[in-house]
Structure 1
Amino acid sequence: MASSLMSFSCLVYFVLLFPTLSTSQNAFVCSRATFYGNPYSLGTASGTCGFGEFGSTLNGGNVAAVSDLFRHGAGCGACYQVRCTYPGLCNENGVTVVATDHGHGDHTDFILSGRSFSNLALPNMAEELMAYGVVDIEFKRVSCQYPGHNLMFKVTEHSNYPYYIALTPIYQGGMKDIVAVQIWQEDCHEWKEMRRAYGGVWDMANPPRGPLNLRLQVSGEDGQKPIIPLGQVIPGDWQCGAVYDSNLQFH
């Protein structure tokens, strides 16, 4: 009965709030969440965002698979404050998670790592909360914070120098989505758009030789899509598996 009343109150809250959701990033939205792994497990290295092992330990293992929030990969790397809504079981602030995977649960927006799910609970209440399996939550998008880290680009291991390159942005701060990655093509004097291969991975066959001059198109909460020049981020002798610093961070 308590769970039903909580779900109903969330529904009423959502209906009353709906007119302002599109303009307010501070509003919580009611949903549901479940978890994968054991209670204290980290994320998965096989997430569909393409982060690999980095994605399993990112944010201290407080990561999540998301469903509709995945947005065909544009949601990879987005951060959310998630908190459950059961008095006596859930802490007030919940947990901040990073979206690293795509997945659907039982009418859920989030499949949390075991560590993230247990961090929803009050001290010594994690096992009791885990016993629910699926819980009512509320969430909102928040700014990602990576102190000491700029936005970086990892050259994925399945790249093939110099004929094929695939890049994954990591440590993406702020609340902006990367909607396009472009490389300057010197021989024809124009910007060439990379393909979103999957998740957060961008690729290009036969990239230009020499250092790669990149720019990004990002989508912010204001609906604008500005172009962000990065300069020569990737050296001409780039290597598979290497990570290169953009010397820029979103806030």
Structure 2
Amino acid sequence: MNIPTIEAAYTGYRGSAWELAHATFYGDETASETMGGACGYGNLYNSGYGTETAALSSTLFQNGYGCGGCYQIRCVQSPHCFKNTVFTTVTATNLCPPNWSESSNAGGWCNPPRTHFDMSKPAFMQIADWHAGIIPVMYRRVPCMRKGGIRFQFQGNGYWLLVYVMNVGGAGDIASMWVKGSRTRWMSMSHNWGASYQAFASLGGQALSFRVVCGTTRQVLVAFNVAPSNWNTGMTYEATVNFR
């Protein structure tokens, strides 16, 4: 097994200041309804995220550029808050879409310009009684702590490579991405949706390398020969180190 060679520039990430928002939950205690989602992570257990996740209002989701970011969330100013719980940490894996048929203060919780978290029920139940339905919260961005390396899941065909980027540590979000075949130069990939990037090129039969830039910190990671020359769509390839 060939281990990818990694070059990375680490800038560190300490998170952001606390801000006010609101939170609800979707699904049940199994979090089965949170699997998949607009970021394209698929089965969240296999992707490394588990049930500690949230769908973001479009103000935070930012057309998918907010995917992978980690947030500390704590319940405030509500009798439904659990007094002994300081906060829970969730990863952004989905979009909470606007509901234009409802007022922003009466059901349209994710309508712009509101900042809102629609959390998995297990994550919500760590900070408040779920019977509350909706609670005021304080939130802040924090570094993502991940096990293992960054994962690149391939979709597409022989002339179109679509790559989902998962399990990113540090700030967690991705701003831009490049791909390099063993017989090509670096090629910029365009943002498709969620955490996916695409290249319209014939890259079959070539070992593939990737360069990833984090949106929040501009951290750069270059992973050489992540996928072997006989790579296939439907497969996931992993770089052996991650952002710190």
TM over 0.5: same fold?
yes
Once the two structures are overlaid, the 10-residue window that deviates more, 189-198 or 23-32, is 23-32
Q: TM-score, normalised by structure 1?
A: 0.76
Matched residues, number = 214
- CA distance in structure 2 between the aligned counterparts of 1:111 and 1:118, rounded to whole angstroms: 12
Paired-residue identity, %: 28
Contact between 1:43 and 1:64, CA under 8 Å: does it hold in 2?
no
Letter of the 1:64 counterpart: A
Give the CA deviation at 1:185. Answer: 5.7
Give, in whole Å, the separation in 2 of the partners of 1:134 and 1:39: 17
Structure 1 residues 245 and 118, CA gap change in structure 2 (3 angstroms): same
Asked if residue 97 in structure 1 is aligned to residue 90 in structure 2, the reply is: yes
Listed one character per residue, the Cα deviations across residues 11-62 of structure 1 (whole Å, up to 9, x for unaligned) are xxxxxxxxxxxx9835211110111112453452341101112379743311
Q: What CA distance in whole angstroms lies between the structure 2 residues aligned with 1:198 and 1:30?
A: 27
Alpha-carbon shift at residue 212 of structure 1 (Å): 1.2
Structure 2 CA distance for partners of 1:180 and 1:98, relative to 1, 3 Å: same
Match of 2:15 in 1: 25
Match status 1:152 vs 2:146: no
Answer yes or no: is the 8 Å Cα contact 1:84–1:137 preserved in 2: yes
Q: CA deviation at 1:219?
A: 3.1
- For residues 100-154 of structure 1, give each alpha carbon's deviation from its aligned partner in whole angstroms, at most 9, with x where no partner exists: 0111451451000111111113xxxxxxx2222110000111111123x111111
Q: Which amino acid aligns with 1:89?
A: C
Larger C-alpha radius of gyration, 1 or 2?
A: 1
Closer/same/farther in 2, CA of residues 84 and 42 from structure 1, 3 Å limit: farther
Residue from 184, 203, 228 that aligns with 1:208: 203
| 2:175 alignment counterpart | 179
Match of 1:111 in 2: 118
Residue 232 of structure 1: how far off its partner (Å):
1.4
Alignment of 1:192 with 2:187, yes or no, is yes
Cα RMSD over matched residues? 2.5
Larger RCO: 1 or 2 (CA < 8 Å, sep 6+): 2
1:235 to 228, 234, 243: 228
Verify the 8 A CA contact 2:182 2:208 in the aligned structure 1.
no
Counterparts in 2 of 1:88 and 1:99: CA distance versus 1, 3 Å:
closer
Contact 2:29 2:122 in 1 (8 A): yes
1:247–1:133 distance in 2 versus 1, CA, 3 Å: same
The structural deviation recorded for 1:83 is 0.9
Measure, in 2, the Cα distance between the counterparts of 1:186 and 1:240: 18
Segments of 5+ residues of structure 2 without an aligned counterpart are 1-12, 98-107
Instruction: Kindly indicate whether the alpha-carbon contact (under 8 Å) linking 2:41 and 2:93 is maintained by their aligned counterparts in 1.
Output: yes
Q: Which residue of structure 1 lines up, in the alignment, with residue 65 of structure 2?
A: 74
Q: Could you say if the C-alpha distance between residues 92 and 151 of structure 1 is closer, same or farther in structure 2, counting changes exceeding 3 Å?
A: same
- Checking the alignment, whether the CA contact within 8 Å between 1:39 and 1:130 is kept in structure 2 is no
Contact 1:184–1:192 at 8 Å: present in 2 too? yes
